[in-house]
């Protein structure tokens, strides 16, 4: 096969760096409101019927939304194998907690309504709460760790060694900056869940969702700005030094890395990337206003804009770094040293170009079929198949 030479290795790497962002953002935009609704569930629904309304706003779509996460994970495996190997084994216990939360969530959606017993239902409500809030928090914590660098190194034959005691793979992750990043992520998804419920629910559920969502929007913006200030004044960044090739073999040990004064020097080098944090902050504030004003469709759109801005700001600020190593900077994973082979990236790109538009089309069709509010009458109808 010579076809893959049509696109240079370097360009393919940048494309896949972008696609990684697309998948993570796709996950946050879609499954994000499912997790937000889960985290909001005990607070927006006081009665069983109200909770069922909230659950059924996401009932028919959460399953498809969750696939963004699965495909995100699989694409990291396929396109960035060292990143997959280092991060999943490095954040071992945290990954287990996320897995546990994500396993319990499908089951809770499906099984909650299958018995009338109030204790049964309230147990599953807490499962849905944890299934939404815990991953939302931990995803942010993971990003916080990645921004600061993670203590790992490669041996000569590229075994990954994560330094520190085993329990540090969980409690070691919970440093103040990472927790702040966790707050950004949790508050952002709660805001998004609030915006979704504003669109899909009415009455008391909607009122509560608007109130809590608007508070979450302010917290998200505040914590995000604080994290930015922290990165400006109190944190070193990383940079590649010496001569390096951007289309060479994926081996981190062929590169030289050292600490830089700050990640935010990227904004001096590439001022245009400032659009990302501006979208994040602006989107968050507009979501706050939209929720207060009771706007429905436009609030969900600005909430999406906020998420898009916040997540892409992380990637754009760190480029070309993907996962720096704090204990052995030379082992840091970058766009240039941790991708799959030229051929694999090309094959995967072809598959993505064919299937991603199809996915977007049929997903849009499903949302269109399900358009409209979920009401108390809908879930009370005994013949309906609602959760």
Residues 159-198 that bind other proteins (CB under 8 A): 159-162, 166, 169
* Smallest separation, CB 355 to other proteins (Å): 4
Query: According to the binding rule CB under 8 A, does residue 75 interact with other proteins?
Result: yes
Residue from the set 29, 86, 134, 187 that interacts with other proteins by CB under 8 A: 86
For residue 207, what are its two tokens?
């009122």
Q: How far is the CB of 167 from other proteins (least distance, A)?
A: 8
- Compute the distance between CA of residue 367 and CA of residue 370 in angstroms, rounded to an integer: 5
Determine, following the binding rule CB under 8 A, whether residue 102 of this chain makes contact with other proteins. Answer: yes
Angle, helix 203-234 to helix 48-58, in steps of 10 degrees: 60
Smallest distance from other proteins to CB 65, Å:
8
Residues 304, 305, 308, 309, Cα dihedral to 10°: -150
User: Within 239-258, which residues bind other proteins (CB under 8 A)?
Assistant: 248-251, 254
Q: Is 363 in the site for other proteins (CB under 8 A)?
A: yes
Among 95, 226, 275, 289, binds other proteins (CB under 8 A): 95
**Choice from 326, 359, 373, 376 touching other proteins (CB under 8 A):** 359
Q: Is 326 in the site for other proteins (CB under 8 A)?
A: no
Rounded CA-CA distance 320/240 in Å is 9
ω into residue 152 within 30 of 0, thus cis?
no
Closer residue to other proteins (CB): 75 or 145: 75
User: Is residue 126 near other proteins by the rule CB under 8 A?
Assistant: no
End-to-end CA distance of the chain: 50
Q: Choose which of 63, 202, 236, 328 interacts with other proteins (CB under 8 A).
A: 63
Number of residues located near other proteins, criterion CB under 8 A: 76
Are the C-beta atoms of 329 and 257 separated by less than 8 Å? yes
377 in contact with other proteins (CB under 8 A): no
Residue 6 burial by Cβ neighbours in a 10 Å radius (0-12, 13-18, 19+): exposed
- The one among 39, 85, 143, 201 contacting other proteins by CB under 8 A: 85
């Amino acid at each position: 096969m010579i076809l893959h030479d049509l696109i240079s290795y370097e360009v393919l790497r940048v494309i896949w760096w972008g696609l990684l962002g697309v998948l993570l953002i796709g996950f946050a935009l879609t499954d994000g409101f499912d997790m937000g609704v889960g985290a909001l569930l005990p607070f927006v629904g006081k009665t069983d019927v109200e909770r069922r309304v909230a659950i059924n706003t996401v009932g028919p779509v959460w399953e498809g939304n969750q696939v963004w996460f699965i495909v995100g994970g699989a694409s990291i495996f396929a396109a960035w194998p060292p990143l997959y190997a280092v991060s999943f084994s490095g954040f071992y216990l945290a990954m287990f907690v996320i897995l546990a939360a994500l396993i319990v969530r499908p089951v809770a959606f499906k099984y909650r309504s299958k018995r009338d017993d109030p204790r049964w239902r309230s147990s599953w409500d807490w499962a849905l709460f944890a299934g939404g809030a815990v991953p939302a928090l931990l995803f942010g914590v993971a990003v916080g760790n990645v921004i600061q660098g993670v203590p790992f190194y490669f041996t000569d034959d590229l075994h990954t060694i994560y330094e520190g005691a085993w329990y540090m793979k969980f409690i070691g992750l919970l440093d103040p900056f990472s927790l702040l990043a966790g707050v950004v992520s949790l508050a952002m998804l709660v805001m998004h869940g609030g915006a979704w419920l504003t669109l899909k629910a009415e009455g008391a559920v909607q009122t509560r969702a608007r109130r809590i969502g608007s508070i979450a929007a302010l917290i998200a913006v505040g914590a995000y700005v604080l994290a930015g200030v922290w990165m400006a004044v109190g944190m070193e960044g990383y940079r590649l030094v010496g001569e390096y090739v951007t289309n060479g073999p994926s081996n981190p040990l062929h590169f030289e890395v050292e600490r830089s004064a700050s990640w935010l020097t990227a904004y001096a080098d590439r001022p245009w990337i400032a659009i990302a944090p501006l979208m994040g902050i602006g989107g968050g504030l507009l979501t706050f206003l939209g929720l207060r004003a009771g706007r429905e469709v436009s609030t969900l759109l600005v909430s999406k804009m906020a998420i898009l801005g916040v997540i892409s700001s992380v990637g754009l600020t760190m480029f070309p770094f993907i996962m720096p190593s704090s204990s052995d900077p030379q082992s840091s994973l970058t766009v240039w040293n941790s991708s799959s082979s030229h051929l694999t990236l090309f094959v995967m790109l072809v598959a993505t170009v064919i299937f991603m538009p199809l996915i977007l089309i049929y997903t849009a069709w499903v949302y269109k079929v399900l358009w409209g509010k979920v009401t108390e009458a809908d879930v009370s109808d005994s013949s309906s198949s609602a959760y």
